């Protein structure tokens, strides 16, 4: 068998079998009982050459509408943002992407230091005291925050706002089920968490209150009030925050959050049909020894040279085994690196400007939709998403928009029957005035 990934020659094979003292490769598999031995050949597609496979997969890719060829107004947790060209250059360096977890620090200082910088940047944006090296995504990160809170408070109930992304809420529920924790939904009023209902629902069995910032409807929640209510009852305040919005929004750490989680996808990470993205997990110092996943810490060698290591590993599954409070092992290291490069490129000024541009473009879009007679629900505290009454089923509207080169907003009837004909429209800095106007014009044309 000759293949470009397999350097074994016939001579190699002969020499190696001789050294081992067997006459065939089959002998090495003699420990597999006859009854379970697979004797045929996998019934899968035959191998393809590089050229023809590229062609075939290129044809499959071409069947998908994508945000490079279309103007995308679809957000709802995954966004089309500015991706500095250098991000892909850095993560394409194979010293990074072909490495394993940095368990041997002497030859993994690059990865370890990059993660240490990632942890620092996440702390800066969220206002939290420490952050881990990444989680799978924002949804599972929120779910782990919930189970952490239940373990920490020894309580078995989570209150989750209805304004948290529905898929994240579903993941929170699955993780909570695993540990017999109840999840109760706090209703929303006018697109934000209903504070009066929260006050009624919270009790001394509540481990944490989970909200999103900005929330699923693009609204900015009053975190301080929510955190205060949580703390009055001995519960933790958990916030899932869009880190890009934190360029302009007060960090959750300054508004009482005990745990801030989210997804760093807005920083240089492609949509990729939903993954891989990059969860982050940041906490106040008192929770340091309960953080799931890997942490990188600074130290030095015997000559006083600064270096970085994986630390506080007594928390982790490979040490704690069945006493572990999280089973996470692989994380999203390469995407944390991508996010670090994007955060670095944006820098202190760019992060403010990009967040501001999102607000400005969204404000323009709001005014344009309203002027054309399409109601924008909720508000006024919009970050980069609007709930717009398009006055027709969104599926039909989006079909028309597609013909104009536009990927329309998210059909909210899929998650809330009362929001039939409403779309959640994301307007990032990537959308031009022209594209926004075209969206509005097409809506007008549909109703002309």
The yes or no reply on residue 69 touching other proteins (CB under 8 A) is: yes
Q: How far is CA 420 from CA 74, 124, 227, 366, in A?
A: 17, 39, 32, 19
Among 331, 419, 423, 439, binds other proteins (CB under 8 A): 331
Is the four-CA dihedral 120, 121, 122, 126 of positive or negative sign?
A: positive
Q: Going residue by residue from 153 to 192, which x/- string records binding to other proteins, judged by CB under 8 A?
A: ------------x-xx-xx-xxx-xxxx------------
Q: Which residue in the set 317, 389, 404, 413 belongs to the binding site for other proteins (CB under 8 A)? A: 317
- Shortest gap between Cβ of 277 and other proteins (angstroms)? 8
Shortest CB 201 distance to other proteins, Å: 22
The SS3 assignment for 19 reads: helix
| Local structure of 256: helix, strand or coil | coil
Going by C-alpha positions, the residue among 255, 319, 267 that lies closest to residue 289 is: 319
Tell me which of 10, 196, 349, 403 binds other proteins, using CB under 8 A. Answer: 349
Least gap, CB of 45 to other proteins (angstroms): 6
Nearer to other proteins, 273 or 448 (CB): 273
Residue 376 Cβ vs other proteins, minimum distance, rounded to whole Å:
12
Q: Given candidates 201, 288, 372, 438, which one binds other proteins under the rule CB under 8 A?
A: 288
Instruction: Show the binding pattern over residues 199-218: x = contacts other proteins (CB under 8 A), - = does not.
Output: --------------------
Could you check whether the bond before residue 103 is cis, i.e. omega within 30 degrees of 0?
no
Q: What is the DSSP string of 184-229?
A: EEEPEETTEE-HHHHHHH--TTEEEEEEEES-TTSBPP-HHHHHHH
Residue closer to other proteins (CB basis): 79 or 374:
79
With beta carbons less than 8 A apart as the criterion, state whether 203 and 233 touch. yes
Taking the C-alpha atoms of residue 270 and residue 79, their distance in angstroms, rounded to an integer, is 9
Cβ neighbours of 377 (radius 10 Å):
15
Does 410 participate in binding other proteins (rule CB under 8 A)?
A: yes
1 near other proteins, judged by CB under 8 A: yes
SS3 for 263?
strand
Chain CA centroid to CA 119, Å: 15
* Residue 247 found at the interface with other proteins (CB under 8 A): yes
**What distances in angstroms separate CA 332 from CA 172, 267, 318, one per listed residue?**
19, 14, 18
> CA nearest 278: which of 88, 111, 138?
138
Residue among 234 and 320 whose Cβ is closer to other proteins: 320
- Considering the complex, state which of residue 372 and residue 402 has its C-beta at the smaller distance from other proteins: 402
Q: Does 71 bind other proteins (CB under 8 A)?
A: no
Say whether residue 109 binds other proteins (CB under 8 A). yes
Site for other proteins in 116-145 (CB under 8 A): 116-117, 119-121, 123-125, 130-131, 133-134, 136-140
Per CB under 8 A, the list member of 163, 242, 260, 398 interacting with other proteins is 398
Using CB under 8 A as the binding rule, whether residue 380 contacts other proteins is answered as yes
19 binds other proteins (CB under 8 A): yes
């Amino acid at each position: 068998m000759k293949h470009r990934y397999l350097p074994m020659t016939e001579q190699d094979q002969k020499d190696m079998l001789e050294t081992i003292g067997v006459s065939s490769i089959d002998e090495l598999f003699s420990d597999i009982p006859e009854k379970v031995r697979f004797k045929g050949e996998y019934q899968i597609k035959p191998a393809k050459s590089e050229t023809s496979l590229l062609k075939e997969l290129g044809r499959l890719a071409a069947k998908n509408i994508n945000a490079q060829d279309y103007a995308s107004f679809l957000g709802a947790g995954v966004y089309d943002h500015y991706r500095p060209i250098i991000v892909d250059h850095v993560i394409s360096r194979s010293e990074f992407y072909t490495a394993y977890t940095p368990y041997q620090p002497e030859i993994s200082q690059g990865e370890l230091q990059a993660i240490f910088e990632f942890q620092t940047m996440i702390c800066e944006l969220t206002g939290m005291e420490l952050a881990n090296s990444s989680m799978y995504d924002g949804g599972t990160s929120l779910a782990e925050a919930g189970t952490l809170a239940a373990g920490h408070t020894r309580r078995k109930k989570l209150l989750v706002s209805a304004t948290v992304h529905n898929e994240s809420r579903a993941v929170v529920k699955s993780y909570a089920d695993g540990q017999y924790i109840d999840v109760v939904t706090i209703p929303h009023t006018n697109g934000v968490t209903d504070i009066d209902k929260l006050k009624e629902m919270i009790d001394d069995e509540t481990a944490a209150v989970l909200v999103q910032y900005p929330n699923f409807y693009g609204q900015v929640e009053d975190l301080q009030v929510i955190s205060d209510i949580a703390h009055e009852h001995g519960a933790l305040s958990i916030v899932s925050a869009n880190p890009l919005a934190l360029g302009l929004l007060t960090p959750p750490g300054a508004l009482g959050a005990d745990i801030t989680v989210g997804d760093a996808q807005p920083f240089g990470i492609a949509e990729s049909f939903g993954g891989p993205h990059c969860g982050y997990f940041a906490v106040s110092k008192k929770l340091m020894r309960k953080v799931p996943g890997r942490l990188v810490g600074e130290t030095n060698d015997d000559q006083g040279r600064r270096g970085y290591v994986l630390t506080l590993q007594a928390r982790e599954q490979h040490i704690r085994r069945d006493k572990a409070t999280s089973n996470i092992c692989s994380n999203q290291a390469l995407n944390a690196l991508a996010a670090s490069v994007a955060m670095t490129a944006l820098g202190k000024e760019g992060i403010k400007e990009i967040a501001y541009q999102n607000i400005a473009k969204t404000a323009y879009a709001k005014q344009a939709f309203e002027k054309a007679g399409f109601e924008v629900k909720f508000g006024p505290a919009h970050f980069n998403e609007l709930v717009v009454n398009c006055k027709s089923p969104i599926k039909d509207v989006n079909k028309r928009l597609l013909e104009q080169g536009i990927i329309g907003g998210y059909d909210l009837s899929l998650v809330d029957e009362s929001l039939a004909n409403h779309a959640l429209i994301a307007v990032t800095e990537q959308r031009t005035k022209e594209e926004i106007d075209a969206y509005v014009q097409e809506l007008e044309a549909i109703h002309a």
